[in-house]
């Protein structure tokens, strides 16, 4: 596949922005500015960048609990996201959701989910609505390797395949479900080995190669839009940090960690851009700087935003006061 310079720059910019966002969040968490559980996908940015370049604004997407990157890649408002992580009134969810419940229905982002596996059926329902409404929209559903062992996957994969729903199932296999390595939780080598059980295509791809991620997703998205039904994509990657911020990740083999750090998807694309003479180091630095600047602005926005009023506790439970 041939990529335009613009496309490649877009990939790079998205990854750089995701990286900047989460690196900063890590610092802010350590500094006590962000409360609660925060799960970062540092090192996994190629998936967000590659996947979301394949879909349109009206396409839907179900997220899981490690989804800052995806949200940014789908075009979520970074200021509001940061404010949400702070618990401020200006956040994506008015401060009521936090990192684990980021959502933006206007962008088709059906929400992160703190209950692993609950997102499969919700995403299938969104795909059902895409078809019911006779639109051409499709739905993506992102999930981790660990949660691929939850029962609702099976129910939703079966129905989606049976009804040929316009959905793409995307597993971010980052090596672990919390402390449990893939070989400790998965009966087969690959999550994609499960596709055959539902008669759908399944493929495992290098998740640190943004171009491969893009190509693979593009094909599955086209298939879904054509009405040919779901696919299962597995992108193999590695979680750089611990499971949540504060977890030192002692269960990781330092050698593996080192190996994977070398596979950083950002310089990987950067080097290729330079080699192909599409970009200079300055171009890359500039994109990094743009990312950083966005995050600076977002942190400022978040810090200056007001806390929600205590009365907000009681609103949004129902559409009306019962």
Partner 1 sequence: MQMTYAEAIRDGLRVELKRDPKVYLAGEDVGPFGGCFGVTAGLFDEFGPKRIVDTPISENFIVGHAVGSSACGLRPVVEVMFDDFITVCFDEFANQAAKVRYMFGGKAKVPMVCLTINGAGVGAAAQHSQSLEALLTHIPGLITVIPSTPADAKGLLIAAIRDDNPVIFYEHKQLLGVSEDVPEGDYTVPIGKADIKREGSDVTIVAWSWMVQKSLAAAEELAKDGISVEVLDPRTLVPLDKEAILKSVGKTGRLVIVQESCKTMGFGSEIAAIVAEEGLDLLNAPIIRVAAPNTPIPFSPVLEQEYIPSVEKIVAAVKSLF
- The binder of 66, among Mg ion, ligand TPP, partner 1, none, by C-beta within 5 to 8 A per type, is ligand TPP
Would you count residue 207 as binding ligand TPP (CB under 6 A)? Answer: no
CA dist 133 and 116 (Å) reads 28
C-beta of 69 vs 144, nearer to partner 1: 144
CB of 288 to ligand TPP, least distance (A): 25
CB of 13 to Mg ion, least distance (A): 26
Contact between 97 and 36 (Cβ < 8 Å): no
Residue matched to tokens 């899981």: 64
CB of 315 to ligand TPP, least distance (A): 26
CA dist 135 and 206 (Å) reads 32
Query: Are β-strands 180-181 and 202-206 bridged in parallel, bridged antiparallel, or unpaired?
Result: unpaired
Residues in the chain: 322
Contact between 72 and 18 (Cβ < 8 Å): yes
| Contact stretch for ligand TPP (CB under 6 A) within 175-183, 213-221, 246-254, 271-279 | 175-183
Give the Cβ contact number of residue 220 at 10 Å.
26
DSSP states of 136-156: S--EEEEEETGGGGSHHHHHH
Would you count residue 265 as binding ligand TPP (CB under 6 A)? Answer: no
Contact between 234 and 217 (Cβ < 8 Å): no
Would you count residue 190 as binding ligand TPP (CB under 6 A)? Answer: no
C-beta of 85 vs 141, nearer to a second copy: 141
- The binder of 123, among Mg ion, partner 1, a second copy, none, by C-beta within 5 to 8 A per type, is partner 1
Contact between 204 and 176 (Cβ < 8 Å): no
Residue 273 in tokens: 């851009």
Burial class (CB in 10 A: 0-12, 13-18, 19+), 23: middle
Would you count residue 59 as binding ligand TPP (CB under 6 A)? Answer: no
The sheet with strand 202-206 has its strands ordered as 60-62, 139-144, 167-173, 231-236, 202-206
Would you count residue 24 as binding ligand TPP (CB under 6 A)? Answer: no
Would you count residue 146 as binding ligand TPP (CB under 6 A)? Answer: yes
CB of 214 to a second copy, least distance (A): 27
- The binder of 154, among ligand TPP, a second copy, Mg ion, none, by C-beta within 5 to 8 A per type, is a second copy
Using CB under 6 A, which of 5, 35, 115, 197 touches ligand TPP?
115
Q: Interface with ligand TPP by CB under 6 A: which residues?
A: 39, 65-66, 114-117, 144-147, 174, 176-178, 239, 243
Q: Interface with Mg ion by CB under 5 A: which residues?
A: 144-146, 174, 176
């Amino acid at each position: 596949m041939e990529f335009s310079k613009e496309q490649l720059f877009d990939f790079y910019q998205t990854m750089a922005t995701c990286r900047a966002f989460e690196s900063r969040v890590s610092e802010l968490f350590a500094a006590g500015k962000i409360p609660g559980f925060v799960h970062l996908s540092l090192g996994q940015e190629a998936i967000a960048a590659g996947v979301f370049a394949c879909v349109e604004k009206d396409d839907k997407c179900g997220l899981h609990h490690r989804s800052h990157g995806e949200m940014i890649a789908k075009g979520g408002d970074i200021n509001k996201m940061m404010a949400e992580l702070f618990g401020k009134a200006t956040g994506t969810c008015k401060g009521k959701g936090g990192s684990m419940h980021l959502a933006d229905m206007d962008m088709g982002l059906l929400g992160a989910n703190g209950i692993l596996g609950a997102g499969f059926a919700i995403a299938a329902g969104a795909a059902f609505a895409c078809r019911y409404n006779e639109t051409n929209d499709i739905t993506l559903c992102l999930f981790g390797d660990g949660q691929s062992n939850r029962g609702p996957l099976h129910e939703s994969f079966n129905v989606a395949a049976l009804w040929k729903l316009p959905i793409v199932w995307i597993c971010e296999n980052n090596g672990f479900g919390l402390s449990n390595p893939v070989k400790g939780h998965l009966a087969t080598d690959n999550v994609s080995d499960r596709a055959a059980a539902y008669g759908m295509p399944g493929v495992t791809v290098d998740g640190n190669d943004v171009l491969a991620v893009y190509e693979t997703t593009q094909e599955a998205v086209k298939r879904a839009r054509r009405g040919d039904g779901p696919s299962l994509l597995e992108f193999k990657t590695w979680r750089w940090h611990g499971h949540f911020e504060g977890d030192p990740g002692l269960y990781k083999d330092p050698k593996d960690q080192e190996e994977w750090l070398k596979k950083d998807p950002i310089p990987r694309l950067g080097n290729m851009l330079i080699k192909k003479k599409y970009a200079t180091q300055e171009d890359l630095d500039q994109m990094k700087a743009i990312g950083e600047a966005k995050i600076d602005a977002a942190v400022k926005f978040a810090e200056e935003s007001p806390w929600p009023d205590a009365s907000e506790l009681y609103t949004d439970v129902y559409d009306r006061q019962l």
